[in-house]
Amino acid sequence: MGETMTFKDKRIILTGAAGGIGEALARQLAAEGARLALADINAEGLGLVAEACRRSGSETIEILTDVTDREQCQALVARAVEAWGGVDILLSNAGVSMRARFDEVTDISFFERLMAINYFGPLYCTYYALPYLKESLGRIVVVTSSAGKLGAPMHTGYAASKHALHGFFDSLRTELAGTGVGITLVAPMYVKTGIRRHRFEADGSHPSVDPYHDSKSKSMTAEQAAGIIIRSARKGKREVNISFELKAGVKLKPFVPGIIDYFVRRKVDPV
């Protein structure tokens, strides 16, 4: 996929499409004329985003999907293939976060849910889409996180799930060498999305409102993050760490790990 490639008529599966970065991705890809199979567990939000994409002229279908369910992931891919005869891009974006010190967690079971959504979801979708991506010489695009590159306090389970993504897809990339299938991993840092409203607290519950503070001036919008993800896929990038701070942290950690740990403790999302 070269720099001049457009997404017009590309057959794209996008998970986590009902809001945040996923919604922004859907709208931007629809504006380019992509054919979209939008997936999410939120039926109402998914329907609204799909309708907006159709109004933009995009051929769009919506598939209610819980990515933790293998059969639903299989059905998602099958529906896209039934509609268009194949898949060009699998864009795994669905995710959930947490905020709790590990020694204060009272319901540890939500760690399994974190791993199921953030790691097994992309794995399942990739498994079922891969034969079609080989046929189309397509691309897997995965939205990870800065927590997948650097550990972060209050985010132990979330960071573990995102580290797992990098390990899996870096390994898969070596297996797919010569097949024509590319893999792009994109790790945002601070992005203004509704993910915090669905994060897990220490007791396994979710906040009643989005606790994000607009005062974090360095945070980018979901639209900005989506633009970077799309450009990264367009250029066939291997891995993109969004933000200077994350890039610097990743490069310096092998040499000054203690300093990077201090930096992360000071800079981690306080909400």
**Among residues 119, 124, 132, 158, which one is catalytic?**
158
Q: Is 158 a catalytic residue?
A: yes
| Amino acid found at 97 | S
- HSE-up (13 A, CA, CB side) for residue 118: 28
**Could you tell me which of 92, 67, 88, 90 has the C-alpha nearest to residue 142?**
92
Kindly tell me the sign of the dihedral angle through the C-alpha atoms of 212, 17, 186, 226. Answer: negative
Residue that has been written with the tokens 């945040």 in this structure? 20
3-state secondary structure of 254: coil
Report which DSSP code applies to 256.
-
User: Do 160 and 118 form a contact (C-beta atoms < 8 A)?
Assistant: no
| Amino acid found at 92 | S
Active site residues: 158
